[in-house]
Amino acid sequence: MSGAGLYSEWKLAYRGTAISGLTLMRFCFFCFFSLSLVGQVQTVLFKNGYSVRGDIVATKDDRVIVDLGFQVLVIPRDEITAIQGETVQTGSSDKGDRFFFLGSGRNVQSVRDNIPRCQAAVVEIRTPTSLGSGFVVRPDGYIVTNNHVISGETKISVVFFGQKDGLDKKTFESVEIIASNPLLDLALLRISQDGLDLPFVPLGDSDGLREGETVFAIGSPLGLERTVSEGIISLKNRLFDGLLFIQTTTQINPGNSGGPLFNLRGEVVGVNNMKLSSVGIEGMAFSIPVNQLKSFLNNRDAFAFDARNPNAGYRYLEPPRPVHGPKND
């Protein structure tokens, strides 16, 4: 049977058309053939901001075939912006393209099972005077953190932690501030290096959260990198000083600031920001809703970092004071 025949038969089955016994046999053979070619799991990024993860079964000039484990997808090349680990040439991006990526078709998993697909994209942010966390939102080096983590600083380093024959630690020293919003306490950083293909995490929907829903955080509290803590949503819209926060029971400590709050689909639903700390107070942590982060990223030009602004992080010496000589009588 020709490849074209297999492809046309699969399209009929996928659209729900009545399937003959021979067609079903051909479709099953196609699935079996796909599974026999399973390779490394990769992420396919779409122009509309969505993404899917699966095994790349085959790549053609006009399409990519992806095995999701329960379904085989044939994706047109012109709908793909990138495959993690492979650059796909599709021409210039549309102005309406999202800057970030959304989760699509991700299964609900336990916190333990979510760690392998989330942890590699969580980073440690270091400056001469502070330490915090952050997470990668684009494979080409864009990272989100809290503004207060990098406020007043321009010398910033980002540390990644991987697992290759033990702990694989990689530090990037050349990091620039792209945008910042002190009011929302959000900042966008970029690693100044070409050809990056970093692990990243998709953004979820904070409006869809429900009280009692399980969430978890990954970060570097007190410099203890790769720390995972679990909790539930206490209230999804807690008001402080005119701003809305997600209140959770997740343990958040100094160093967690700017790190991600995940749901059980491995999507970022919040940016960890602060906690109430006093004798007798436990389990009251607050995160910035991810939908506010989406607005910040979509309007990043309005919050662009300007190095010429004296309040933009550069430290200036005090101007010399006039010296008064002795008075002549």
Closest by Cα among 200, 229, 201 to 287: 229
Closest by Cα among 233, 135, 238 to 186: 135
Closest by Cα among 249, 246, 225 to 162: 225
Candidates 130, 133, 257, 287; catalytic one = 257
Contact 252, 272 (CB under 8 A): yes
Closest by Cα among 101, 123, 131 to 297: 101
324 noted as active-site residue: no
Structure tokens at 9: 């038969």
Candidates 34, 67, 133, 148; catalytic one = 148
Closest by Cα among 24, 42, 39, 152 to 88: 42
Contact 30, 14 (CB under 8 A): no
Contact 266, 106 (CB under 8 A): yes
Contact 108, 115 (CB under 8 A): no
206 noted as active-site residue: no
Structure tokens at 256: 């967690």
Structure tokens at 92: 């210039």
Candidates 133, 151, 185, 287; catalytic one = 185
**Cα gap 300→32, rounded to integer Å:** 46
Structure tokens at 151: 């406020």
**Cα gap 213→29, rounded to integer Å:** 41
295 noted as active-site residue: no
Question: For residue 13, what is the DSSP state?
Answer: H
Helices (H) and strands (E) in the chain, counts: 5, 20
Closest by Cα among 315, 266, 226 to 43: 266
**Positions marked active-site:** 148, 185, 257
